[in-house]
Structure 1
């Protein structure tokens, strides 16, 4: 039974302009509440009891969260400005320890159904996707007849599109340990590697990643003001 979640929250959120002058992207509010708080509450409602947040930009704002949420632990990446999401994930390896965990991006709004679907899935290493619904910045996903991840790209023409990446996953400690060891080999050459592409590297050559496609799931990744306006109108009413 998975009780741990890890949220990647080190990025600078530059596309949000003035919204992120004083707070990290996860603290941009949708409705009346920051995205990160909505994710934390969804995780807690599904039985998660430990939440590790990989921080970087404006890390002190996440530190303040621990006063109200004692189940939160933070792990700061001093290299946040010169690396990317895979390094944030790699940097938390000692804090995560031997736990299996859910992995989330910090800039999401989603139904708790997203978490429950992963927890209920029989496979141990799982990427959650939905049919393509987002109007910009999609990560398109391809999988084979056994639902094993075979490709992903921001370029629709590069893949046989089966759906789009949500940004929520389930990973076993054994898989994550292999993932970190693999990344260590290429870290100096690819410090800005996105975690999505390391998952793909693993699925292709080391250990398969199962792709769970959940039609009808309400969610959105919010990268800028236009995303925020869209999500408030079309997604937020389903995720209260």
Structure 2
């Protein structure tokens, strides 16, 4: 069983405008509860005992949350304004150590099945996808006949996509170490790299990432007010 999860929560959430002036994006409420709190409670209910949160913008909110949940450990990234999610994940490497872990973003709402499906998947390194359901900002994912990640893009015309990225993954400690070793060679050149593109590079050149498609999974990534409205109208009731 995987006992560790890592939540990416360093971003500034600028697409929410004034809603994130005094709180990080993960603390925006969807259906009356902060998104990140929903995720934390779901993770704990699935047996996760350690939750590492990669913080940056308004880190204090997560440090206060850690006082309520003993499972939480915060890893601050002082370069959050000039970097992206791969740097935040890389910055957590000493805290993660050799652990296998679940990786997710702070701005998601999702069914518990998203976690249990990854935990029970036989493959050690897995990207969760679903058939395309979002009305905007889709991130399309392609895999080969063996189910291995081969391409991804925000432009569906660039690939033979099998679904869209959810933003929840399972990574082995061995894979993560290789991932960090490779990124260490290009961190100065690519400080704004998203972790999903590093996962793609790894799968194409170093170690395969399996793509798991969960049909009918209820989830949403909430990046702006329109996303929030859609999620509250169509998703929250099923969680």
SS at match of 1:67: helix
- In the TM superposition, 1:129-168 aligns within 5 A as 129-168=129-168
1:51-89: CA deviations, max 9, x gaps? 000000000000001111011000000000000000000
TM-score computed with the length of structure 2 as normaliser: 0.99
Counterpart residue number, 1:209: 209
Counterpart residue number, 1:219: 219
Counterpart residue number, 1:44: 44
Following superposition, the deviation at residue 105 of structure 1 comes to: 0.5
SS at match of 2:67: coil
Counterpart residue number, 1:195: 195
Following superposition, the deviation at residue 144 of structure 1 comes to: 0.2
1:131-180: CA deviations, max 9, x gaps? 00001111100000000000001111111111000000000000000000
Counterpart residue number, 1:29: 29
Give unpaired runs (5+ residues) of structure 2: none
Counterpart residue number, 1:235: 235
Give the distance between the partners of 1:66 and 1:46, measured in 2 at CA: 19
Counterpart residue number, 1:179: 179
Give the distance between the partners of 1:140 and 1:3, measured in 2 at CA: 29
Counterpart residue number, 1:9: 9
Give the distance between the partners of 1:158 and 1:13, measured in 2 at CA: 28
SS at match of 2:115: helix
Counterpart residue number, 2:19: 19
Matched, 1:77 2:91: no
Give the distance between the partners of 2:155 and 2:30, measured in 1 at CA: 28
Give unpaired runs (5+ residues) of structure 1: none
Give the distance between the partners of 1:19 and 1:137, measured in 2 at CA: 20
SS at match of 1:62: helix
When the two structures are aligned, how many residues end up with a matched partner? 239
Give the distance between the partners of 1:195 and 1:135, measured in 2 at CA: 23
- Where in structure 1 do 4 or more consecutive aligned residues deviate above 2 Å? none
1:12-64: CA deviations, max 9, x gaps? 00000111010000000001110000000000110101000000000000000
Following superposition, the deviation at residue 198 of structure 1 comes to: 0.1
Give the distance between the partners of 1:62 and 1:151, measured in 2 at CA: 34
